[in-house]
Amino acid sequence: MIDVYYWPTPNGYKITIMLEECGLPYNIVPVNIGKGEQFEPDFLKISPNNRMPAIVDPDGPDGQPISIFESGAILIYLAEKTGKFMPADPRGRYEVMEWLMFQMGGVGPMLGQAHHFRNYAPEKIEYAINRYTNEGGRLYGVIDRQLQDRDYLAGEYSIADMATMPWLLGKHQGQNYDDYPNLKEWRNKLKARPALQKGWSVMRDVRSVADETKDKERWEILFGSKQFQKR
Ligand SMILES: N[C@@H](CCC(=O)N[C@@H](CS)C(=O)NCC(=O)O)C(=O)O
């Protein structure tokens, strides 16, 4: 069974959503990033960037165990393992890759910064809040335009949709879904999928933004000196 090194965050949800959509059995190995478990030497062996998610599949492509970190790489791995949610034909496959890379390089990092400066930063820095909120709005707009004439980001429902949807957190990122009607419709359609709902709810009850901002130890681990120690 696949071990999923996991904590309930948008990058974690991507993987549980895909596993649920594929009907693959999995075992959750919690990595409590608020307690610093991402820095444990054993975890760093499979995820050298001290970030979750990561997976260990005892039945890798050559029949041997394989570990993978980076959520985009994990999604591609699972799509190739199962033959699901990424077309086999090169044109369709590159289209999925384009939108997956757009999520990994743009939507995740930029909206993550919007979320950080709006909700977690100890000082309210207007320049940073505006920069990332505006960039976030631009990215919402790109998604909205892409969905003008298709149902899913890359045509068919794919790992690109699963990667992007959990990252669109609306008001936490200074965005209003009503300003992006195609995005809103797509998001509602995805939210109605039972497998997506199941994957998106794994351990969700253990975290809330309000608790995180109040918890100084957690803040220090994630954003303070503990994060930047040489390892
Ligand atoms: N590019 C990575 C990013 C993963 C990432 O940022 N994970 C966060 C939670 S969403 C994490 O593990 N944070 C722990 C830390 O900052 O120390 C991926 O997509 O897998």
Judgement on whether residues 179 and 95 belong to the same structural domain of the protein: yes
Judgement on whether residues 80 and 108 belong to the same structural domain of the protein: no
Judgement on whether residues 53 and 121 belong to the same structural domain of the protein: no
Write down the pLDDT at residue 124: 94
- pTM for this entry: 0.95
What residues make up the domain containing 127? 90-193
Write down the pLDDT at residue 205: 86
Tell me the average pLDDT of the chain: 95
Judgement on whether residues 62 and 98 belong to the same structural domain of the protein: no
Judgement on whether residues 157 and 171 belong to the same structural domain of the protein: yes
Is the C-alpha dihedral spanning 90, 94, 100, 101 positive or negative? Answer: positive
Distance between the two ends of the chain, CA-based, in angstroms? 30
Judgement on whether residues 121 and 146 belong to the same structural domain of the protein: yes
Write down the pLDDT at residue 227: 86
Q: Is 111 helix (H, G, I), strand (E, B) or coil?
A: helix
Residue 7: closest CA among 206, 162, 209: 206
Judgement on whether residues 120 and 180 belong to the same structural domain of the protein: yes
Which of 4, 9, 11, 217 to probe ligand 1 with, by most ligand atoms within 8 A of CB? 11
Is the C-alpha dihedral spanning 50, 203, 108, 227 positive or negative? Answer: negative
Atom of ligand 1 nearest to the CA of 52: 12
The 3-state secondary structure of 120-134 reads: HCCCCCHHHHHHHHH
Which strands form 2-6's sheet, in the order they lie side by side? Answer: 26-30, 2-6, 54-57, 66-69
Q: What's the average model confidence in pLDDT over 82-87?
A: 98
Judgement on whether residues 43 and 56 belong to the same structural domain of the protein: yes
Q: For residue 19, what is the domain's CATH number?
A: 3.40.30.10
Query: Which residues are near ligand 1 (CB < 6 Å)?
Result: 9, 11, 33, 38, 50-53, 70-71, 222, 227
Judgement on whether residues 56 and 121 belong to the same structural domain of the protein: no
- The protein residue with its alpha carbon nearest to ligand 1, atom 19, reads 71
Burial label, 45 (beta-carbon count in 10 A; 0-12, 13-18, 19+):
exposed
Write down the pLDDT at residue 36: 93
Judgement on whether residues 222 and 159 belong to the same structural domain of the protein: no
Judgement on whether residues 134 and 183 belong to the same structural domain of the protein: yes
Element (H, E) at 115: helix 108-115
Judgement on whether residues 75 and 96 belong to the same structural domain of the protein: no
Q: How many domains does the chain have?
A: 2
Encode pLDDT of 32-78 as tens digits: 999 999 999 999 999 999 999 999 999 999 999 999 999 999 999 99
CA of 213 to the centre of ligand 1 (A): 18
Encode pLDDT of 106-156 as tens digits: 999 999 999 999 999 999 999 999 999 999 999 999 999 999 999 999 999
Percent of residues, the chain, with pLDDT higher than 90: 86
Q: For residue 125, what is the domain's CATH number?
A: 1.20.1050.10
